[in-house]
Structure 1
Amino acid sequence: MSGHRRRGVGRRAFLVGGGAVVLTAGSASAWALNTYVIDHVEVSDTEAYEQAKGVTSGASLDTSDVVATDDSWSADGTSVTITKVQTGSGSATVTYFVADVVLSDATVLRTGFAEDEFGENIIEKTSTIAARKEAVFAVNGDYYGFRSTGIEIRNGVIYRDKGAREGIVFYADGTVALYDETQTSAQELLDAGAWTTLSFGPALIEDGAILSGIDDVEIDTNFGNHSIQGSQPRTAVGVLDTNHLVFVVVDGRETGYSKGVTMTGLAEIMKGLGARTAYNLDGGGSSTMYFQGEVINQPSNGGERGVSDILYIAG
């Protein structure tokens, strides 16, 4: 069933980040600049790379029958419905956006990369990537480019195979599973039908239950990372059924409009929407939802922050 673990891959209670590094003050600055600022391109043309691997861009939609309103879009059995939700008042106000997404085929959900390149520290705004891909809907991804670890399969192609944490895998048959990256390999996942994997976390919901300890999880412990604890802007994906997903982007850091939510608060939102499985994606200033040509939420940086990747549906 959609949202359940596949092929005996177990989950982990804690996520693993980078190891400790001891450096002098001067060398630390140079290392940080090289690690977190300078581009490291591994694949210079991701579309050509995927084609060379014999993978097309995924299932195509017949967009001759598009039906669209301000808050919904549908074509050829795929649909996106957007809802804005606001709760609380005053300093306790929380504002978030929900995208209910039904896919005619799991491969309609695609990944787009900043600058159409794969590597570290390569960034573009979500809206810029989405516009180039002619997306009707998009959210920020897992910001894979901030780290050098994780299993990254995108659009049916292996880009990285360095298991480190708990991931989520979207299979081409429409099912989705949480898994421990350190207990499998990208090739095993691909052979089992993986279409896309994301490496961030933590997992929020499994088998319909909110997971414990999620407010204390550290995604990365490497130099330069920021805490994800407390009330923050958030992005998450949830699984309602086979080929039926829900995406949530919570705004935050703006008193009177939206303070953000804790990880448990995000999990509660996802459970309330009916998610049987849910997974946290990159958040903070990255949290962005794009629909029909515009960013519909209010990113916390006062504007969009560059990200390394998006999830999108081409329109």
Structure 2
Amino acid sequence: MSDSVLAKPVSRRLLFGGAAGVLGLGGTTAWALNRYVIEHVEGTVTDATAAIAQGTSTANSYTSASTSLTIEKVSTGSGSDAVTYFVADITSTDATMIRSAFAKDSFGTNIIDYPSSIAANKNAVLAINGDYYGFRDTGIVVRNGVKYRDDGARQGLALYRDGSMALYDETATSADVLIADGVFHTLSFGPGLVENGKAIAGIDSVEIDTNFGNHSIQGAQPRTAVGMIEPGHFLWIVVDGRSNGYSRGVTMTELAQLFLDRGAAVAYNLDGGGSSAMVFNDALVNNPLGRGKERGTSDILYVAG
């Protein structure tokens, strides 16, 4: 999650003092440890097969029979107003080459791994952090066409097998209906940034979740978001932040504008803060929090070979 949204499992382990601190825990602390730190595996991945890349890569591009992508680094402003972000422009005639993977090939809560490690396990060409579904026990989670969770709670994003993408209300449908309609992935974080080619009003005041550990995601923050220009033509944007002189991060409205400037018809915000990561051919592309280190997360989106 964005650092301003959630403390990560690693941070919570430090707060609880590690294994030695488990002894003598009070009821509230023991509950929090169980809810937010201890791994709970609810199931294994139905299709854990890694693809083998069949295309050709350069330092910032990849081309195969079905998919092509380029990665661009953009820097604007200077000093305290500097912003640095990375744009992956992806086109594919087979939208199922856009895939998802869970940390440790397991579905559940508090199961995390570095995005680069999850990506390497799948031989991913390109990957970004996902929605950190594993912090929550609500939301609709459909990945690679398989239902994992069906508890609608917020605005979600649906990615269809035909390469289209749409915002939707999780509470007004179900995972089974979505799959029957051709949905290949759902993402459950938000807010939606762009719809019908226009920025969504009020996104700078949206709160994501209200449970323990959550805070505001307003202001200039590191961000990860996905968008679609037209079916089969996608934009993945990762913005670095909280690093003075390198990148301050962006607001939600600014993030929406990055997508609009490139012609996006729809865009959706994902987990951010220190979790924001882009990996290309096993190498970390961006510079999380200006430290050059990834943070563990529960899932990624990736481009298969």
Tell me the SS of whatever aligns to 1:269: helix
Deviation at 1:226, TM superposition (A): 3.3
- Of the three residues 279, 282, 286, the one matched with 1:293 is 282
> Is 1:38 aligned to residue 38 of structure 2?
yes
Aligned to 1:154: 143
Q: How does 1:50-129 map to 2 (within 5 A)?
A: 50=47, 63=54, 66-129=55-118
- The one-letter code of the counterpart of 1:196 is H
- The percentage of aligned residue pairs carrying the same residue is 58
- Flag the 1:276–1:61 CA change in 2: closer, same or farther, 3 A: farther
Deviation at 1:27, TM superposition (A): 2.5
- In 2, the alpha carbon distance for the partners of 1:263 and 1:206 equals 14
Deviation at 1:62, TM superposition (A): 7.4
Q: Deviations over 1:228-281 (max 9, x none)?
A: 111100000011011110000000010000010111111111111111100000
Contact 1:122 1:308 in 2 (8 A): yes
Q: Which runs of 4+ in 1 moved over 4 A?
A: none
Q: Which structure 1 residue ranges, 5 or more long, are not aligned? A: 1-24, 52-56
> Is 1:307 aligned to residue 297 of structure 2?
yes
Aligned to 2:14: none
Aligned to 1:198: 187
- In 2, the alpha carbon distance for the partners of 1:27 and 1:179 equals 38
- Flag the 1:300–1:183 CA change in 2: closer, same or farther, 3 A: same
TM-score, length basis structure 2: 0.89
Q: Which structure 2 residue ranges, 5 or more long, are not aligned? A: 1-24
Contact 1:62 1:76 in 2 (8 A): no
- The one-letter code of the counterpart of 1:29 is T
Tell me the SS of whatever aligns to 2:125: strand
- In 1, the alpha carbon distance for the partners of 2:151 and 2:131 equals 15
Deviation at 1:299, TM superposition (A): 1.1
Aligned to 1:163: 152
- Of the three residues 207, 231, 236, the one matched with 2:220 is 231
Contact 1:73 1:79 in 2 (8 A): yes
> Is 1:185 aligned to residue 191 of structure 2?
no
- Of the three residues 257, 265, 270, the one matched with 1:268 is 257
Deviation at 1:227, TM superposition (A): 2.3
Q: Deviations over 1:81-118 (max 9, x none)?
A: 00000000111000000000011211000101101000
TM-score, length basis structure 1: 0.86
Q: Deviations over 1:161-202 (max 9, x none)?
A: 000000010111111111000000000001111100000000
Contact 1:61 1:75 in 2 (8 A): no
- The one-letter code of the counterpart of 2:82 is T
Contact 1:123 1:307 in 2 (8 A): yes
- In 2, the alpha carbon distance for the partners of 1:289 and 1:114 equals 16
- In 2, the alpha carbon distance for the partners of 1:226 and 1:81 equals 34
- The one-letter code of the counterpart of 1:37 is V
